[in-house]
A and B are shown apart, each in its own frame.
Chain A
Amino acid sequence: MRFSRVLAGVATVSAAALAFAGCSPAADESKTITVVYQKTDGFVALDELFQKVKPEFEAANPGITVELEPIVADEGDYATKLALMQQSAETAPDVFYEDTFRVRSDVDAGYLLNLDEYLAEWEDWEQFNDGAKEAGRADDGSVYAVPLGTDTRGIWYSKSVLEAAGVPLPWEPKSWEEILETARAVKAASPDKVAFNVYSGKPAGEGSVMQGFGMLMYGTDDTLYDAEDQKWVTGSQGFVDSLAFIETLYGEGLAPAPDVALDGSMWQKLFGEWFPGGQIAGTIEGSWSPSFWKQDGSYEWPEYVDDIGVAAFPTQNGQGDGAVSLSGGWTLAVGAQSQNPDASFDFLAMALDRENALEYNIANSQIAVRADVAEDPAYLEANPFIGFFTDLVSVTHFRPATADYPQISAEIQAATEAVMTGQMSPEEAAAAYDDAVIGIVGDENVTQ
């Protein structure tokens, strides 16, 4: 039958293709180190850093080739692909860009190399501040990742809007109550403006924790996670109080209307329209904010230098340090399965030396974690607020980055959404959160 010939043709083509596939170069020449990181049009700083370090490193280490493998994707997809690559020894990268909040769970998964020995011999390590050292530490007490930089969060406010409402400047609220008082004054003076924004709800994602609920929660007497016992805290008054603050803010119309706030792109309006247009008095936002307003930023607004003021976010009643901040940020780490761990660490160290860290921190609007960079004039001149936000490092907290954190964060987001829309009272939402947390981590990992 003639179709057998057709069939044979198809079979040959398939076989050839698969055979060809089989011959593809498996990148395991022993003296190559692969570097995997995220790159997008809006985020080229790291790519530029590695492009610069690669020839320097290859010149200093003859015989070693650095292979750069940027992944073009958003953060979620980047994490997925990185985790898949890490799962197979054949594809696990030697050096990679890793979010601080994934460090612990990825250490549990066995993806990261213990860096203690290398750090002990690295003289630059003492330049890193304590928070940065903690960010790369896992439950076993060892350090597995070195931060590139960090970010801090505080209050950004519009001087002109507050002045119009008769609020004396500089505005330095000392408690949650003072924030509400000021917000009410703004609301009374101009009812159609947003008085104070605290990110809430699921569409804002991690922002609802980092630039929202978390800033409140860490300013109470309670905590989310008991780091010593490694247990999640349920039934705390601080949790209810934090939700109650959000309820008040949204319930009284001081925050953006819930349907506006529940659009994941609200922050773009906030930077692009509300602040430049004088339609908002204040918000919690991150240290990177000027990167949007500066020259060539997404929402260029040169006047921000004069119109914007900043303040530390207060603790609930001014207790403790009186101020609170949350930090995230990204690190570089070495793969546990690396064939060339020594060379990989050397590459990491070179990429994070003083000169490179300085350039990267400025280019990517990062808060420096190296003391020598933090006091460098070039760094401090990058924008008028960078010094202020660098100082917040002293009061900042890192997320409880356990493997369960992403799910628990989603439950926190759901709780804030339930409260801001009035679907649940703070107590109900807190109780629902408690149930969800027990469901995620189990009874044995929860404490009262």
Chain B
Amino acid sequence: MVASTSALRDGAVRPSREDPNSRVGRSSRASIARFLPVVPSILLLALFMAGPVIWSITISFTNTALTGREAKDPSWVGFENYTRLLQDPGFPISVWLTVVFVIASAVIGQNALGLAIALLLGRVTRATRAIVTTIVVGAWVLPEIVAAFAAYAYFADDGTLNQLLAGIGIDGANWLYEFPMLAVILANIWRGTAFSMMVYEAALNDVPPEITEAAVIDGAGGLKRLVWVTIPMIRGSIATNLMLITLQTLAVFTLIWVMTKGGPGISSTTLPILAYQEAFKFQEIGYGSAIAVVMILIGAVFSVLYLRTIRPGRDA
């Protein structure tokens, strides 16, 4: 955020080129004034986000705690929190589980299912559309703690899923114990798909019908049309959606906490669970902040990947 304000200060505006992003031809009178509307966002973000983040980064180099001697006199410990984190045998597992969770539940699950539902919604009856969107959105609007309880009740050993399976003669597994990651991934797909669905629904409405029509007249089949016409048209939405759901999923805490408490063992302890345990259960704010900083870095890696691979040459 510091970088962005200094960029604002130079106020230099690149003259427009044949670049898809430069849409406006009035660059000769380019001025800082054009970017004045950005100011409220910068003020809000600087006060409420940048400040606390810089503070958090600072804290991550101290042994600040909520209780104990360190609460009274925190001291500077340099990189100790980070070296301790790197030496923690649970840490690499936690990073791995976080990446698995994000890729399986968000990048693949929510994204693909959301797109599929949005595409199908365009070709079904009004009633089907109303029913399905209400249900899918219903799962999304539930407060996280409630959704987590519902998911727990669904996957528990004597839960809804196993009762249904028993109804057709299958003896279901104890999902939360034997396949904790699968359970939390499915739960997160259940809870989060509505967001992708809504983004793609809105995006597909921006695809001019004449383009798909043209493709139909050219004889392109459904799948071809999807891959060669529709998806490129909504590429920007896909990139944004992927990025947003990735970053959101990266921070999912309550859902996993209620369902498995990160267990059994540490087999579903993603980074937010790890950070929570350190920062609040053990009240070690310094160490917890170090984990938060690592999470921000992982999020940044994902974001840069999206920007570079999906929209080459734009914003990256």
Contacts and interface: CB of A to CB of B under 8 A. Distances in A.
A105 B68 contact: yes
A7 B261 contact: no
B281 interface: yes
B265 A110 contact: no
B187 to A, nearest CB: 16
Interface string A408-425: 001000000110010100
A184 interface: no
Interface string B120-147: 0000000000000000000000000000
Contacts of A1: 33
A110 B65 CA distance: 12
Nearest to B66: A83
Interface residues of B, number: 31
Contacts of A72: none
A403 B157 contact: no
B177 A259 contact: yes
Contact of A263 (B40, B67, B71, B177): B177
B66 A87 contact: yes
Nearest to B84: A439
18 contacts: A3-B36, A14-B44, A76-B280, A108-B67, A108-B72, A109-B70, A110-B72, A201-B263, A202-B265, A203-B263, A259-B264, A263-B157, A263-B177, A403-B67, A403-B68, A410-B277, A410-B281, A417-B265
A406 B276 CA distance: 13
Closest 8 CB pairs of A and B: A403-B68, A109-B71, A83-B66, A259-B177, A105-B67, A105-B68, A110-B72, A108-B69
A264 B157 CA distance: 12
B178 interface: yes
Contact of B282 (A3, A110, A264, A410): A410
A129 interface: no
Interface string B19-44: 00000000000000100110110011
A11 interface: yes
B283 A10 contact: no
B40 A7 contact: yes
A328 to B, nearest CB: 16
Given A3-B37, A80-B66, A403-B67, A109 B72 contact: yes
A428 to B, nearest CB: 14
Given A80-B66, A109-B72, A262 B40 contact: no
B290 interface: no
B177 A407 contact: no
A260 interface: yes
Nearest to A18: B47
Interface in B71-128: 71-72
Contacts of B263: 201-203, 262, 417
Contacts of A421: 264-265
A106 B178 CA distance: 39
